[in-house]
Amino acid sequence: MTSFRELQAWVDQVAALTQPEKIHWCDGSAEENEQLIQLQVANGGLLELNPETHPNCYLHRSDPNDVARVEHLTFVCTPLKEDAGPNNNWMDPAEARELMADQFAGCMQGRTLYVIPYCMGPIDSPLSRCGVEITDSPYVVANMRLMTRMGDAALRRIEHEGTFVRGLHSTGLLDPDNRYIMHFPADLEIQSFGSGYGGNALLGKKCHALRIASHQARTEGWLAEHMLIVGVENPQGEVHYIAAAFPSACGKTNLAMLIPPESYPGWKIWTVGDDICWMRVGEDGRMWAINPEAGFFGVAPGTSEHTNPSALAMLDRDTIFTNVAITEDNQPWWEGKDDQKPALDWKGQPFNATRGPAAHPNSRFTVSSKRCPSWTEQAEAVQGVPLSAIIFGGRRQRLVPLVLESESWQHGVLLGAAMASETTAAATGSVGKVRRDPMAMLPFCGYNFGDYWSHWLSFSERSSRLPRIFHVNWFRKDAAGKFIWPGFGENMRVLDWIIARCSGEAGASRSPIGLLPRAGDLNLEGIAVSPESMQALLEVDVAAWQVEMASIGQYLESFGSRTPQALQQECQRVATALQQD
Ligand code: OXD
Ligand code: MN
């Protein structure tokens, strides 16, 4: 039901194909949400958690074969295979459409088709972009309501603007052999079938805000990135905004909600976003960023009073949990949370430690950003927030120092392109292997990485006031396998140095791989890290870096002629500097 003919025609056409019993246009109201929640409680799709300890909180248990994003079943369908690049699975668009039409035919019989108009970003922001997701999952509707600005206001913007990203989703029969997440960037279209989980099904997130948006961003001259955004406020009340890219489940949510340690009285971290950042150069030449999302879809295990007290506080109410365990009295529970005992595991079976963890390692919480104690009104700013720094990071036990600053924008782009990390449970596949994950976008860039790096490099021609680029690694281990750096709140010390570098107030020493803090440049007051450990955290092992640079060079080369020359040259420059050291 819309006056916008193009949208109405698409909904009619999808309904004719999928044959739902009913069609429901979501208005985003509290009443609608309540009805949908009650419907799912009644049909077992949601379990109400303890209303005394966790009012308005629900647990969803997904099918055990549907617990993570499926990168091997995710495709970018561009007319030319090279445009999707070696970083994506590719299918010819016509073939993909035919395959998907077969899946969708009649798949909503007996089900309700929900039409979800949504806006990624503040509803009045020129940086925001809208989409419409059609789904047969009320769980998806409830999640999209938390994760995006969903409902009437978004529909009005779409009707006014006349353009939107089309996302068609059905859980189908949750058959892993009939599961596909297809992207058609040229048509601003997504089709997802056979999964009801997270990034596979909440199409506003990875599918729209990263894969399709990265394509849109390239055409329109901005960047859609897998980055958190925080504001760092000093005791004088000055706020510096930082965006940071880390591969999945490397602690982005924890960093986005960091609480400064006691030795930082008067400092405060403001949370703008924990996963996605859209940014563009403003009229003043600075990079301005918005968080297109309105909620957090965070990994639950490991979230505790120690690692992320703000997250724990916001999960007390109005939260949807997916695949966590529950205690005897129906409170959500996961490994690392506290010393309560799980009664039922994530599958709803009595907990038995010999059968694995109680909560699935990729279990999640979905909650509105506004529930976060460090949430800032600036997350609603229509012009976004100005960035002082961009941070790239990864999970590396060895080699990569705690922090380093790039020599230039080009060098920063190389640091991003060379990012690598040990894999975690956020995607299916093996855990603990090092994989290259440029800009943390490997599963999310909707086009050829070679072209993507050229796009990044092109920003140096657009402005001379770009943010400075840094690289961090919180995850160095010693010979005994213990983390050397305490991480979490103590990462504030690294942010402090980064900001001080941006305002010209901190020193650094030049190394072949970039600028590193010297002993004394980092504030280490009140922290139990020995001088030897600090030395290990900031050392540059020249021989090991030569091997790393050769491997980075080969990786860049694997994108063939699409890899920008300037990036290869930058790689060569660092390799030569290492040789001369
Ligand atoms: C996420 C991911 O869920 O990156 O945010 O996998
Ligand atoms: Mn993510």
Amino acid, single-letter form, for residue 234: N
pLDDT in tens, 366-416: 999 999 999 999 999 999 999 999 999 999 999 999 999 999 999 999 999
Using CA atoms, how far residue 8 sits from 4, 162, 164, 413, 440, in Å, is: 6, 12, 12, 43, 37
Does 199 sit in the ligand 1 pocket, CB within 6 Å?
Answer: yes
Per DSSP, the chain holds a count of helices (H) and strands (E) of 16, 30
Q: What is the DSSP letter of 429?
A: S
Q: Where are the beta strands (DSSP E) in 257-345?
A: 268-273, 277-281, 287-290, 295-299, 320-322, 325-327, 332-333, 342-344
- Number of C-beta neighbours around residue 373 at 10 A: 12
Q: Residue 31, CB half-sphere, CA atoms under 13 Å: how many?
A: 1
Q: Which of 248, 277, 297, 428 for a ligand 1 pocket mutation test, highest count of atoms within 8 Å of Cβ?
A: 248
Sign of the torsion formed by the C-alpha atoms of 265, 266, 271 and 277: negative
CB-proximal residues (5 Å) to ion ligand 2: 248, 275
- Nearest alpha carbon to residue 539 among 488, 504, 581, 491: 581
Task: Report d(CA 327, CA 121) in Å as an integer.
Answer: 36
Q: Name beta bridge partners: 133.
A: 116, 167
What average pLDDT does range 264-292 have in this prediction?
Answer: 97
**Contact at 8 Å (CB) between 139 and 112?**
no
Q: Is the pTM value of this prediction over 0.95? A: yes
CA 37 to centroid of ligand 1, rounded, Å: 24
Please report the atom of ligand 1 found closest to the CA of residue 198: 3
Q: Residue 480, CB half-sphere, CA atoms under 13 Å: how many?
A: 3
**Contact at 8 Å (CB) between 521 and 507?**
yes
Torsion of CA 509, 467, 442, 270, to 10 degrees: 100
CA 71 to centroid of ligand 2, rounded, Å: 13
Q: Which of 143, 206, 364 for a ligand 1 pocket mutation test, highest count of atoms within 8 Å of Cβ?
A: 206
Using CA atoms, how far residue 539 sits from 400, 407, 519, in Å, is: 9, 18, 11
Minimum mean pLDDT among 8-22, 212-226, 425-439, 474-488: which range? 425-439
**Contact at 8 Å (CB) between 190 and 212?**
yes
Please report the atom of ligand 1 found closest to the CA of residue 205: 5
pLDDT at 427: 58
- For residue 424, give the ligand nearest its CA: 1
Does 275 sit in the ligand 1 pocket, CB within 6 Å?
Answer: yes
What average pLDDT does range 433-440 have in this prediction?
Answer: 91
DSSP conformation letters of 122-177: -TT-TT-EEEEEEES-HHHHHHHHHHSEESHHHHHHHHHH---EEEEEE-TT--GG
Q: What amino acid positions are annotated as catalytic residues?
A: 250
Q: Residue 171, CB half-sphere, CA atoms under 13 Å: how many?
A: 22
Task: Report d(CA 132, CA 2) in Å as an integer.
Answer: 12
Task: Report d(CA 434, CA 244) in Å as an integer.
Answer: 20
Residue 434 — pLDDT band, cuts 50, 70, 90? Answer: confident
pLDDT at 519: 79
pLDDT in tens, 375-385: 999 999 999 99
Asked if residue 425 has pLDDT above 60, the reply is: no
CA 228 to centroid of ligand 2, rounded, Å: 9
Residue 137 — pLDDT band, cuts 50, 70, 90? Answer: very high
Using CA atoms, how far residue 448 sits from 85, 282, 455, 573, in Å, is: 4, 26, 11, 24
Asked if residue 424 has pLDDT above 70, the reply is: no
Does 394 sit in the ligand 1 pocket, CB within 6 Å?
Answer: no
Residue 11 — pLDDT band, cuts 50, 70, 90? Answer: very high
Residue with tokens 């919180």: 474
pLDDT at 225: 98
Q: Residue 168, CB half-sphere, CA atoms under 13 Å: how many?
A: 27
Please report the atom of ligand 1 found closest to the CA of residue 68: 6
Q: Which of 200, 246, 275, 437 for a ligand 1 pocket mutation test, highest count of atoms within 8 Å of Cβ?
A: 275
HEC string of 40-83 equals HHHHCCCEECCCCCCCCCEEECCCCCCCCECHHHEEECCCCHHH
pLDDT at 528: 87
Task: Give the pairing of strands 180-184 and 189-193.
Answer: antiparallel
Using CA atoms, how far residue 136 sits from 109, 141, 168, 169, 195, in Å, is: 10, 9, 9, 7, 11
Residue with tokens 């596949």: 429
pLDDT at 13: 98
Does 446 sit in the ligand 1 pocket, CB within 6 Å?
Answer: no
